[in-house]
Amino acid sequence: MKKTKVLRVVFPVLIIFGVVALTYLLYEKNEKEAHSLIFYGNIDIRQVRLAFNASGRINELLAQEGDEVKPGQLIGRLDPVRYEAALAQARAQVAAQGEILARLVAGSRPEEIAEAKARVKAAEATLIDAGLSYDRIKRLALTKSTPQQNLDNAEAALKLARARLDEARQVLILAEKGPRDEDIRAARAQLEAYEAALKLREQELADTSLYASDSGIIQDRILEPGDMASPQMPVYTVALTDPVWVRAYVPEADLGKIIPGMKAEVKSDSFPEISYQGWVGYISPTAEFTPKQIETPDLRTRLVYQVRVFVSNPQNQLRLGMPVTVYFPLNQPAGSQTGTGQEGG
């Protein structure tokens, strides 16, 4: 009996409370709509197709479909054996040419110059001896004491000694001057060419690793380990999660009420209790017909302007193509805009 009395008292209270709550929600909704511009659109997320910048057989792929990736995250490797061998060859060429250039720049060693001087002295001594022999045989030839052939031989030996002395002196001059500037420049240019080839080989080896370019979600893993990859063959399709935006359409009559940077509130049917904060990032300069996928209560044949509203999506709840409703409060203070201007479409 007592329980029945309690129910008789509580039940009307609950009904009254429910009616008041419903009335308040309806009032709040009507007030919000009365003081807001309401437009309809869809979530738009950019997609990128990631591929290796080198060709080869895939060794491993480190991301699965549905995985979240960050910029610079390693997500795949090619077989690096050929690229490592090419890099080792390039390093050896650089080292060898570096030694050649260093030898030319350093010039002749003191020992080489000393050797050239010694050869000059030896050639001078040989010339003096040849001159003495020639004079002696010439005197004998005047008295017919020796055959003419001996005089001819002595003269030839003298000329040869003079030539060898000239040769030794030129060798000494070259040793003291060192390598020609042209030879040094040529060696340096060859070293720079090898160094450029080395950098190319290093980059080719680095290109056997695949990294995520931006934050996103792996949508498709197109290739698998063992497949042949190339720059023309995508490995992953990644949906970029930052930024997320709404592609909405504004009638010409309301275009003057929307400005870049204006705050907005975005709601979806999937999460009706959550309001996502956004702002206008782009307003199209040209009109178009309303796309058929946009559900609005108005006729679809009138011209509208595309508006891109950037949305904060910290929980990654907004998905590509999701229909949403965008509210633009009309009572925003003058300094409430968050953007700095239009961004490219």
Over residues 223-279, the pLDDT tens digits come to: 999 999 999 999 999 988 777 889 988 888 888 888 888 999 999 988 888 889 999
8 Å CB contact between 165 and 123: yes
3-state SS record for 222-250: CCCCCCEECCCCCCEEEEECCCEEEEEEE
User: How much is the pTM?
Assistant: 0.61
Q: Which of these, 336, 318, 315, lies nearest to 326 by C-alpha position?
A: 318
Q: Which amino acid is at 15?
A: I
Alpha-carbon distance of 258 to 329, in angstroms, equals 10
All residues at 6 or more sequence positions from 8 whose CB lies less than 8 Å from its CB, including other chains: none
Q: Mark residue 276 as left, alpha or beta (left: phi above 0; alpha: psi -120 to 50; beta: remaining).
A: beta
Q: Out of 2.40.50.100, 3.40.50.300, 3.40.50.720, 3.90.850.10, which CATH number does the structure's domain 48-79+207-239 have?
A: 2.40.50.100
Question: What phi and psi values does residue 15 have, to the nearest 5 degrees?
Answer: -65, -45
8 Å CB contact between 266 and 276: yes
Q: Which two tokens stand for residue 40?
A: 């309809």
Q: Which of these, 241, 232, 244, 316, lies nearest to 50 by C-alpha position?
A: 232
Alpha-carbon distance of 215 to 70, in angstroms, equals 4
What pLDDT is recorded for position 7? 52
Alpha-carbon distance of 269 to 273, in angstroms, equals 9
| Helix, strand, coil fractions of the chain, as percent rounded to 5 | 45, 25, 30
Which spans in 107-147 are helix H? 110-142
Question: What phi and psi values does residue 333 have, to the nearest 5 degrees?
Answer: -65, 160
Q: pLDDT category, 294, cuts 50, 70, 90?
A: low
CATH number of this structure's domain 86-203: 1.10.287.470
Beta bridge partners of 341: none
Q: Which two tokens stand for residue 129?
A: 């001896």
Domain regions of the chain by residue span: 48-79+207-239, 86-203
The model's pLDDT over 115-135, given as tens digits with 9 standing for 90+, comes to 887 888 888 888 888 888 888
Q: pLDDT category, 80, cuts 50, 70, 90?
A: very high
What pLDDT is recorded for position 252? 81
Beta bridge partners of 329: 36
Q: Which of these, 244, 242, 238, 321, lies nearest to 48 by C-alpha position?
A: 238
Q: pLDDT category, 167, cuts 50, 70, 90?
A: confident
Average pLDDT of the residues in 34-54: 86
All residues at 6 or more sequence positions from 98 whose CB lies less than 8 Å from its CB, including other chains: 191
Alpha-carbon distance of 38 to 55, in angstroms, equals 51
Q: pLDDT category, 14, cuts 50, 70, 90?
A: low
Question: What phi and psi values does residue 337 have, to the nearest 5 degrees?
Answer: -70, 140
Beta bridge partners of 56: 229
Question: pLDDT higher for 214 or 241?
Answer: 214
Out of 2-6, 42-46, 262-266, 315-319, least confident range: 2-6
All residues at 6 or more sequence positions from 164 whose CB lies less than 8 Å from its CB, including other chains: 123, 126, 127
Tell me how far apart the terminal alpha carbons of the chain are, to the nearest angstrom.
71
